[in-house]
Chains A and B, each alone.
Chain A
Amino acid sequence: MSRIGSAFREAEGPLFIGYTVAGDPDPAASVRIAGTLLDAGADILEMGVPFSDPVADGPVIQRAGIRALRAGTTPAGVFRMVREIREVTDKPIVLLTYYNPVYRRGLSWFYSEAAAAGVDGILVVDLPLEEANHARECAQENGLDQILLAAPTTGDARLARIVDAASGFLYLVSRTGVTGAREDLPEDLRGLIGRVKARGSVPVAVGFGISRPAHVRACAAAGADAVIVGSGIVGLVERHLADPPALQEAICAYIRQMKGAVRAR
Chain B
Amino acid sequence: MTGSRGSPTGSKARYGRFGGRYVPETLMEALIRLDEAFTRAMADPAFQQDLSDHLTHYAGRPTPLTFCPNLSRSLGCRIYLKREDLLHGGAHKLNNTLGQALLARSMGKHRIIAETGAGQHGVATAIAGARLGIPVEVYMGETDIHRQALNVSRMRLLGAKVIPVASGTRTLKDAVNEALRDWVERVEDTYYLLGSVVGPHPYPLMVRTFQSVIGEEARRQVLEREGRLPDAILACVGGGSNAIGIFHRFLEDDVRLIGVEAGGEGLATGMHGASLCAGSPGVLHGALSYLLQDEDGQVSETHSIAAGLDYPGVGPELAHLRESGRMEAVSVTDRAAEEAFSLLARTEGIVPALESAHAIAHLVEIAGDLDRDSIVVVNLSGRGDKDVETTVSVPQGTGGSR
Contact = CB atoms under 8 A, between A and B. Distances in A.
A-B interaction: yes
Interface of A: 51-56, 58, 62, 69, 74-76, 99-105, 125-128, 130-131, 148-155, 158, 162, 173, 176-178
B30 A100 contact: no
Contacts of B177: 53-55
B184 A155 contact: no
Given A100-B291, A100-B293, A176 B185 contact: yes
B26 A103 contact: no
Contacts of A53: 168, 173, 177, 284-285, 299
A104 B282 contact: yes
Given A75-B296, A176-B184, A130 B283 contact: no
A104 B28 contact: no
Nearest to A127: B22
Nearest to B167: A62
Nearest to A51: B298
A55 B283 CA distance: 12
B169 to A, nearest CB: 9
Interface of B: 20-30, 167-168, 173, 177, 180-181, 184-188, 280-286, 288, 291, 293, 295-299
Contacts of B173: 53
22 contacts: A51-B297, A51-B298, A52-B168, A53-B173, A54-B177, A55-B24, A55-B177, A99-B22, A100-B282, A100-B297, A103-B281, A103-B297, A128-B24, A151-B25, A152-B26, A153-B26, A153-B28, A153-B187, A154-B25, A154-B28, A155-B29, A158-B28
* Chief secondary structure at chain B's binding surface: mixed
B358 to A, nearest CB: 25
B297 A173 contact: no
A132 B22 CA distance: 10
B185 A178 contact: yes
Contacts of B291: 100
B285 to A, nearest CB: 8
B22 A131 contact: yes
A100 B283 contact: yes
B177 to A, nearest CB: 5
A128 B293 contact: no
Contacts, number: 113
A186 B281 CA distance: 39
Given A55-B184, A104-B297, 4 more contacts: A53-B177, A126-B283, A173-B25, A176-B186
Contacts of A74: 296
B216 to A, nearest CB: 32
Given A56-B184, A103-B283, A131-B20, A151 B299 contact: no
A149 B168 contact: no
A69 B294 CA distance: 12
A209 B284 CA distance: 25
A245 to B, nearest CB: 31
B181 A55 contact: yes
A18 B286 CA distance: 27
Contacts of B28: 128, 130, 151, 153-154, 158
Contacts of B280: 104
B29 A153 contact: yes
A58 B184 CA distance: 11
Contacts of A76: 296
B291 to A, nearest CB: 7
A130 B297 contact: no
B25 A150 contact: yes
A229 to B, nearest CB: 19
Nearest to A208: B26
Contacts of B22: 99, 126-128, 131
Nearest to B300: A52
Contacts of B181: 55-56, 58, 178
A198 B350 CA distance: 65
A105 B297 contact: yes
Contact of B282 (A55, A103, A128, A151): A103
